[in-house]
Amino acid sequence: MAIREDKEKALRKFVFPTVAGAIATGAALFLTRKQKSRGSDDGNGRGIGDLADDLRRKLDSVLSKSDQSRAEGRPDSRPAGDFIPDEFAERRREREQRRDRRRAKA
């Protein structure tokens, strides 16, 4: 009898709450799902095929830009402009001065 009571206690503690949670989740999904009419897509006039074509065009444009930059001798990760240390230091000083002025006002 003790085994039967343990099984019932386990059912009450674990199985019933799990089933209730699954039912509640299913109900929530069912109630929040958008209603779609038959024979139409999501309303913006674009289907899965259009989405795939759009993504393919974007990928092709990115790949072609990458190929062009390699052909011109530029690496992909560096900008086309030259690095000038003095100009960089001057811009950093100006930013620090502006930051100090803002902090002084506050």
20-45 per-position pLDDT tens digit: 889 998 888 888 876 665 555 555 55
CA gap 38, 43 in Å, rounded: 11
CA gap 27, 33 in Å, rounded: 10
Rounded to 5 degrees, what are φ and ψ at 79?
-70, 165
66-80 per-position pLDDT tens digit: 666 666 665 555 555
| Residue, of 94 and 4, whose pLDDT is higher | 94
